[in-house]
Structure formats: structure tokens, C-alpha cells
Amino acid sequence: MRIKMVFSYDGSKFNGFQRQKSMPSIQGTIESALSNIYNTPITIKGAGRTDAGVHANNQVAHFNVEDLRPNLKEELNNLLRPSIYVKNIKKVDDDFHARKDAKKKEYVYKINLGPFQSSLNDYYYQPNYQLDVSLMKDASKVMLGTHDFHNFVAGFRDDYVSTIHSITITKTFQKLEITFVGVGFYRYMVRNLVGALLEVGKYKIDRNYIKKMLDNPDEELRLPTAPPQGLYLNKIWY
């Protein structure tokens, strides 16, 4: 029986999503809880591997069990809270795959432009400078559509092409949120896109430099990577 699970987590308490031998991970923690409940080893497959310090509001994973326990959600939350919270569990078709069946994803990056607040430090990026938000909005338009994002991705891949459907930048009082919706986001891709927009907001580069990075994927053009703590996997469509 295949089960689909939707859950949130505080990424500051883990060394990333992917299971690790000696460091706490989201995957390893959930697998341990499921294995304890079912008294047999259980492996979960997530929709994406978030980095250390990155959060999720609606991450998705699937796993296989012999039967769906009627109170499984409550049993898991008793073991996982407060750093991980299971929102929904349901039986799905046996061929459902949390990663391969995802149609698009939404990530949100949060920035505090006001005075530093220690309580926000794990959940917002808190730069000690102001940003030209209007320039950032204009530059974000260059990133829309289908591109080779090689200059915005860490590590080796066979294919760096993806499609970004929308980028929305909103400022409410001193809080800035940058929302990306796209087909798929590779390792460090969102954080590198945010890093580029931050450089624009600081007048270090302009939209034409971002266009050059996209148009010349074989030329090594790199910019600073935004810190992980402001990033949230917010939504996944199937």
C-alpha cells in the first residue's frame, strides 16, 4: 500500500532533508518514527531534498506499508513534534511518486529589512543593508521562462534546463518575500537566483548581467548564494 504524506518542518533543527549517518535529517527522523510505529524498516521518498537550514510548509513524501493505521497521523506527530508536523496522510495509487509526479513547485524566500531580531534569525535572512526593490522586480523578469540555469545551480547535472512560471516580490512593512513558481528547482538554484536579485538590489549588477548568465551557461559566471534560513518549500502541485 502506498501512502502520500504532506508535512512541514523547521529546517534549522536539521542538517537538511536527506538521510545522513551521523547528523540529524528530516528523512532520517521520519523514517525512524515510522519504523518504530510499524516495527519494521520503512523508507520515505521526498518530493525534493532541501538544504540544511531550509524550511518547508508543505513538503510531500511517499512510503509503502502493509496497512494504513487509523491514527497514523497522530502517532507520527506525537513522535515528531515540534520540529516536524504531519498535516495529511492518505492512501494513493501504487505508482504515485512524490518527486517524479510533481508538476510544479513554489518556494518563498523571506527577508527582514528592519532592525535585526534574534527571534527571526533562523527564519529570515537579515541583511544589514537596504535594497532597491523596484530594480529587483524588474530584473526578476529576465529569469522567467525556460532557460539553462547552469550558472545558478551547484554540482554536476546532465541537464540544467528548467522553467520558471512566475516570480513575485512583495514588501509588507519591513518584510520582503520573493516567491518562485516553476517546474523544478535544482540544488541551490533558488538561493542563487535570490543572491542575484540581492546583488541587483545593492546596485552591484543589473538585469543585463543576469541575462548574460542565462544566455552563456558554458561561461563560469557566479554570484553570492543567499543564506538558507530565509527559504521555504511552500507548495507542490500534482
Question: Which residues carry out catalysis?
Answer: 51
Q: For residue 154, what is its C-alpha cell?
A: 551547484
Look at residues 14, 69, 71, 70 and name the one whose alpha carbon lies nearest to residue 42.
69
Amino acid at 177: E
Amino acid letter, 210: I
Q: What is the CA radius of gyration of the chain?
A: 19
Q: Is 32 exposed, middle or buried (0-12, 13-18, 19+ CB in 10 A)?
A: middle
d(CA 126, CA 112): 5
| Torsion region of 55: left, alpha or beta (phi above 0 gives left; psi -120 to 50 gives alpha) | beta
Closest by CA position to 69, among listed 39, 97, 43: 39
